[in-house]
Structure formats: structure tokens, C-alpha cells
């Protein structure tokens, strides 16, 4: 049951709606279908939230450290996936900007949004 709770929190609309907005309105150079993205994004965050709980339980991490670690791991994984699958038609400079943007957005999402959802649920 605790894993179901983690999945629901990670896939809640407060988590993924900002990503939907930015992909739809601020990423004209994307090479993937927006519809596919809307299906994958909630599942992505839900699964990562379950993984973060498993890692935290295994290593005995506090919630703060749990979300810091998972924000780094999940942002690096999405950066690798995006770059290797050529999800965007970016120049090298644009890729660096994208990596910084994703890193900051994931830090905020995991350490503020999901942390608060978990704390107050």
C-alpha cells in the first residue's frame, strides 16, 4: 500500500502539469509527440517516487536527503535519455541550457512539490 501512495503522489497533477505546460509552450524544437509525453510523464514521476522510497529505506536516508538524491539521479537519467534519443534539435549551447533547466526544475519538483505532498498527505 505504501508503494501505491508513493506512485499516486509522484503522478499527481501538481507534479507533472508544470512539465506539460513547458513542453507544450516552450519547447518548439522537440522531436517527440506531445500526446506520448502526456502519457509517460506521470508514470515517470510515480515510478521514480517509488524508487526513491526503496533507496531511502535501504540506505536509511531522511526524507530531505531522499529527495535530494532522487532529484539528481532522475534529472541525470532524463538528460541522458533526451540527449541519446535526440528528443530535441538543439545546438551544444542549447543542450547545456536544457540540462541546467531540467536540473533546476527537478530540484524544485522533488524537494518542494513532492516533499510537501508527502509531508502533508
The answer, yes or no, to whether residue 78 has pLDDT greater than 90, is yes
Domain that holds residue 11: 2-119
**Confidence tier at 26 by pLDDT (50, 70, 90):** confident
Q: What is the pTM of this model?
A: 0.92
What is the total count of domains within the chain? 1
**Distance in angstroms (rounded) separating the CA atoms of residues 89 and 94:** 9
Report the alpha-carbon distance of residue 76 to residue 121 in Å, rounded: 28
Phi and psi torsions of 32, nearest 5°: -115, 165
CA 64/CA 67 separation, integer angstroms: 5
Determine contact, residues 109/18, Cβ cutoff 8 Å. Answer: yes
pLDDT for residue 58 = 97
Amino acid at each position: 500500500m505504501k508503494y501505491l501512495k508513493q506512485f499516486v503522489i509522484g503522478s499527481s497533477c501538481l507534479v507533472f502539469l508544470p512539465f506539460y505546460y513547458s513542453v507544450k509552450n516552450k519547447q518548439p524544437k522537440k522531436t517527440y509527440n506531445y500526446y506520448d509525453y502526456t502519457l509517460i510523464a506521470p508514470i515517470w514521476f510515480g515510478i521514480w517516487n517509488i524508487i526513491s522510497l526503496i533507496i531511502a529505506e535501504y540506505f536509511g536516508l531522511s526524507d530531505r536527503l531522499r529527495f535530494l538524491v532522487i532529484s539528481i539521479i532522475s534529472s541525470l537519467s532524463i538528460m541522458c535519455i533526451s540527449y541519446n534519443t535526440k528528443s530535441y534539435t538543439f545546438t551544444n549551447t542549447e543542450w547545456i541550457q536544457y540540462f541546467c533547466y531540467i536540473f533546476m526544475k527537478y530540484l524544485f519538483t522533488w524537494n518542494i512539490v513532492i516533499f510537501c505532498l508527502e509531508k502533508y498527505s
